[in-house]
Structure 1
Amino acid sequence: MAAEQKQLRWYNIALLAFVAVWGLGNVVNNFYNQGLTVVVSWILIMILYFVPYTLMVGQLGATFATEGGGVSSWIQNLSGKRLAYFAAWTYWVVHVPYLAQKPQAIMIAFSWLFQSNGKFINESNPLIVQTLCLVLFLLFMWMSSRGITTLNRLGSIAGSAMFVLSILFIILGVSAPMMTGSSIATAHMDQLSSYIPKFDFNYLTTIAMLVFAVGGAEKISPYVNKTHNPAKEFPKGMIALAIMVAVSAILGSFAMGMIFDAHHMPADLYANGAYMAFQRLGDFYHVGNIFMWIYAVTNAMASMAALAVSIDAPLRMLLADADTHFIPKAMTKTNSRGVYINGYKMTAVLVGLIIMIPALGIHGMNGLYGWLLNLNAIVMPMRYLWVFLAYMLLSRQMDKFHSDYMFVKNKSVAFIFGLWCFLFTAFACILGMTPKAAFAGDTKTWWFQLALNVLTPIVLLLLGLILPIIARRHEIAEKL
C-alpha cells in the first residue's frame, strides 16, 4: 500500500505546484510596478528566494507528513502550543484583506463581461462600489454558512481554465508581432539596458509584490511523502517548478511589453490590465472580444470560488482543533451545518471594516483597488514568516526528527537559509508599506494610505493577543 501511494514523479509535483502558485495576475501586477526590468527581478527572486523557499517547505512537509494543520502543526511540534496558536492566527487573519478585495474582482469581471471596457474602475464612486462589495461579501458569507458547495466545484473548473488562459496569453502575446504583423508597443525591447533594474528605494518598495506572487508553496507540503524517491525527485520537481514559473513570468512580461508601452502604462493596469491585454490580443487576431469574454467569465468564477473557500477554510484551520487556553470556547460554537457562527461574525466585522474605511479617504476606485492589492502584498507574505521560523527551529532539532527528504543536512547552513528568507520577507513587507505614487494621489491621501498600510497588519496581528486573554478569563471564571 505504501509503495502504491508513492506514485507521484517530479513532473507531477512540478505541475501540481505550478497550478497552485502561479497566475496571470502575477505577471500583470509586477509588470505595472517595474516595467521590463521585472524580467531581471524574476530571475533574482527565483534563485535567491523561491527555490530555497520551496525546498524548505519540502523538508518540513516530509518531516511532519502525518500532521494535517500545515504550518501551525510544524510550529507546535518544534516549539509548543503558544507559538502554534499565533501561527494559526496569522494564517487566518492575513486572509482578511484578501476577502475584502475579492468582491471588487468579481464586480470588475462582470463589468468587462457586460460593458467590454474599464469604465467601472475609472468612473464609479468608491463609496457606492464598496457598499456593494460589502453586500456581495455578506451574501457569500451567508451562502458559505448554509454549506453551499457548488462554487467549490466551479472553482476547480475555473482554476484549470485560468491556468490554460495564462499559458495561452503568453503564446498569443509573444507570437502576435510575427503572426499578425502587430507593432511592438515598447521601444528598445532588443536592448539589454531596458531590462536592468535601478535598485533605488522605489524599486525596493515593489519587492513585496514579487514575494506575494511566488508565495504559497506550503500548499504542496502534503505531497512530499507521496513522491517516488522524495530525496531525489522532490528537489528535481521544485527546480522544474522554479524554471516553469521563471519562464512563464519572463515570457509573460515580454508579452506585456509587446502589448503595452512599458514607459507609458495605463493608470488602471492593476485592475483592468489582463482584460485589456486579452481584448487587444482579440483585435490582433481578428476575433473581437472573445478572448476577453472568456477571461472575464473564468476570472469571475475563480474569484467567486476563492471567496467562498477562503471564508471558511482558513477559519476552520484556526478553530477546528482550537486549544481552549488560547481561543475562547464561544469561538468554536457551530450551527447544525458545522459552521463556526461566532468565527463568521468576527470575519464579517474585520472584512467589513477593511472594505468600508479606506473608501472614506481614498478617492477613485482605481486608487482604492491599487491600495488594497498592495495591502495584500504586505499582509499575505507575513504567513510565510512562520514557514521560515519553523525551518530555523527544525535546523536546531534535526537529530530528533526523521525526514525522507532533506534540503540541507548541515544545521548551521540550514539555519542561515531560513534566516535569510525570513529577513528578506520581513524586509519586503516593511518597505512595501510605502504607498505607491500612482495610487496615492495628493499628500493627504498618501499619508492616509501609509497609516492604513502600517496600522492594518499591526492591528490584525495584535487582535490575536486578545483571544488568549479572553480564553484565560473564561477558564478562571469556570473554576470559581
Structure 2
Amino acid sequence: MKTQDKKIQWYVLAFMSFSTVWGFGNVLNGFIYFNGTQVMLSWILMFALYFIPYALMVGELGSAFKNSGSGVNSWIYETTGPKIAYYAGWTYWACHITYIASKGSGGLKALSWAIFRDHETYDTIPTVYVQLATLAVFLICCYIASRGLNPLKKLTTIAGTSMFVMSLLYIVMMFAAPAINPGADFISLDFSLDNLIPNFNMGYFTSLSILVFAVGGCEKISPYVNKVKDPSKGFPKGIIFMAVMVAGCAILGTIAMGMMFDPAVINESQETFDSYAANGAYWAFQRLGEYYHVGDLFLVLYALCNMIGQFAILILSIDAPLRMLLDNEKTKEFIPSKLLKKNKYGAFSNGIWLVVILSGAIILIQTVMPGAASVLQQLTRLNSVCMPLRYLWVFVAYIALRRAIKRIPAEYRFVKSQKIAYFFGGWCFVVTAACCIMGMYSKDPMTMALNIITPIVLTALGLILPKIAKREREKGMVQDA
C-alpha cells in the first residue's frame, strides 16, 4: 500500500507537465505572427498532430530508461552508441548559444519597462548602446557561472511559477474585464469562418517554427512516467488532459488578446510589427491594469518577474547545458581535452570562453540592426529555428528504441504497432526539420543570413571537435610508444 500511495495520479501529472510546457510568451507570439485569432486553428492542429504524439513518445522513452538521468543524451547513448550521443549533447548545448544571446536583451527590456513603464525609452536608444549593454550583462553572467555559483535556481523557479500564475490570471481577468469595466475600449471579435481560417502563404509556413518551439521541450516530464499510477493508462490520460488544458489556454489567451489588440494595427508596418513582438506582453498587462483601475501594477509585477527570470535563466543556460555536454563520461572521448579543463571552482572555464565567443558574436552582429525592437524580433525568429533542432534527437531516440523493442523493455508503450510507431516518430521528425528549415526564410537579408549561418557554424564546430580529440589521442599514443 505504501508504494501505491507514492504513485502520482494522472491529473497531478497533467498539472505538473502543464506548468513546464506552457508560458504567456507562447500566446503572444502565436497572436502576433499568425494574424490574431487566425492562429487558433493552427494551435489545434499543432497540438493534435504534433504535440500529443510527441509527448506520448517521450513517455515511452522515459519508461524504457527510467534510471537514466541525462534525458535525451542517455536515450541516444543506450539506443545508438556514444558518438551519436555526443552529437545529441552537442546539439542541446549549441541550441542554447542563440538562446543565451537573447536572454540579456530580454532582461534589459523588462528592467526598462519596470522603471520607465513605456517602450519608447528602451526602443529609442541606439542599437549599438543596447547591444553593448547586453554584452556587458552577458559577460557578468559568464563570470558568475565561471565562479561555480548557481544560486539562482530557486529564484528562477519562483519567477517562472509567478509568470505562469500571471498568465492564467491574465486570461481570467481579461474575460471578466467587460463586466467589471463595460465602458473600457474593447475590440469586438469576428468569429466568422473567413476570419478564423489562416492565410496559408509564405509568411504562415515560415513562421510555423515558432509554434513548434512553443510546444517543444516536454521531455522534461519523462522522469515521472513510471511514477504514475498504472502508467499504461494513467500517463496517456494525463498527457492528453494536459494537451487539452494547454490548447484551452492557447485559444482563450488568443481571444483575450483579440479583445485588446487589432491585428490590422500590428501589421501596419514592419516597425509596428517589431514593436508589438517586443512589447506586446507588457502592453497586455498595462492595459489590464487600466481596465481594473490599478494603474501599472500588473505591468510592474510582470516586468519584475520577467527580468528576474531572464537574468537567472541566462546564468543557468551558460552553466547547465555546458555541464551536460562536457561532464559526461560516456562521450568525453569526442571532446578536446582543453575544453574539459576546470578551474578551482569546478566550472569548465574554457567551455565558458567558447560560449563567450559564440554568443558574444551574435550579440555584436546585431549592433547593425535598425532598432532595439528589431533585435528582439530577430532573436525570436533565430531561437525558433535553432532551439527545435534538439527535439529531432527525441524522435531519433524513439525510432531507435522501437527497433530495439525486444532488447529494451518498457512498462508503457505509446502504441503496440511497430509501423504506427515508426510513422509517428518519422512524422514528428519531418515536421520539426521542415519547420526549422522554412523558418530560416525572412524578407530581411540580415535576419535570413543569421538564421542560415548560425546553425551551419554550430554544426560544423560540432563535427570538428571529435576530429581534434581523435588527433590528440593519436599524438598521445605516439608519445607513449
TM-score class, shorter: over 0.9
* CA-to-aligned-CA distance 1:10-29 (integer Å, 9 cap, x gap): 12211111111111000001
| Aligned mates of 2:183, 2:22 — CA distance in 1 | 28
What letter corresponds to residue 122 of structure 1 in structure 2? D
Residue of structure 2 in register with 1:440 after alignment:
none
Question: Match of 2:97?
Answer: 96
State the shift of 1:302 in Å.
1.1
In structure 1, how many angstroms separate the alpha carbons of the residues matched to 2:251 and 2:151? 36
Q: Report how far residue 336 of structure 1 moved.
A: 2.2
Matches within 5 A, 1:75-94: 75-94=76-95
- Give the 3-state SS of the residue equivalent to 1:26 in structure 2: helix
- Answering whether residue 357 of structure 2 is matched by residue 356 of structure 1, we say no
Q: TM-score, normalised by structure 2?
A: 0.95
What per-residue deviation string (whole Å, max 9, x for no partner) do you get for residues 32-79 of structure 1?
001110111111100000000000000001101111111111111111
Q: Secondary structure at the match of 2:466?
A: helix
In angstroms, what is the RMSD of aligned CA positions?
Answer: 1.5
Partner of 1:255: 256
Whether contact under 8 Å (2:106, 2:376) holds in the other structure is no
In 2, Cα distance between the equivalents of 1:5 and 1:200?
52
Question: Which residue of the partner structure matches residue 151 of structure 1?
Answer: 152
Choose which of 461, 464, 481 in structure 2 pairs with 1:463. Answer: 461
**Distance verdict in 2 for CA 1:75–1:125, change over 3 Å:** same
**C-alpha distance in 1, partners of 2:191/2:77?**
52
Partner of 1:327: 335
Map of 1:26 onto structure 2: 26
Does the 8 A contact of 1:154 with 1:305 survive in 2? Answer: yes
CA distance in structure 2 between the partners assigned to 1:124 and 1:337 by the alignment: 38
Q: Which amino acid aligns with 1:283?
A: E
Q: Secondary structure at the match of 1:259?
A: coil
Partner of 1:441: none
SS at match of 1:264: helix
1:456 counterpart letter in structure 2: T
Q: Deviations over 1:178-217 (max 9, x none)?
A: 3211556544424232211122222111110000000100
Q: Distance in 2 between matches of 1:2 and 1:397?
A: 34
Deviation at 1:321, TM superposition (A): 1.3
Alignment-derived partner of residue 318 in structure 1: 325
C-alpha distance in 1 between matches for 2:183 and 2:394: 46
Task: Quote the Cα distance in structure 1 between the aligned partners of 2:441 and 2:186.
Answer: 30
**1:140-289, aligned counterparts within 5 Å?**
140-182=141-183, 185-265=186-266, 266-267=272-273, 268-289=275-296
TM-score after normalising by structure 1: 0.95
Deviation at 1:2, TM superposition (A): 8.7
Structure 2 residue 391 is matched with structure 1 residue 393: no
Q: What SS does the aligned partner of 1:288 have? A: coil
* Cα distance in structure 2, aligned partners of 1:471 and 1:305: 33
Equivalent position amino acid for 1:38 in 2: V
Offset of residue 420 of structure 1: 0.3
SS at match of 2:259: helix
Which string of whole-angstrom CA distances, capped at 9 and with x for unpartnered residues, describes residues 437-458 of structure 1? 5xxxxxxxx2222111111111
Q: Give the 3-state SS of the residue equivalent to 1:150 in structure 2.
A: coil
What does residue 380 of structure 1 align with? 387
CA distance in 1, matches of 2:188, 2:166: 26
Structural mapping, 1:385-464, within 5 Å: 385-435=392-442, 446-464=444-462
Return the alpha-carbon distance in structure 1 between the equivalents of residues 344 and 229 of structure 2.
42
SS in 1 for 2:293: coil
Q: Report deviation, 1:94.
A: 0.1
What letter is aligned with 1:403? Answer: A
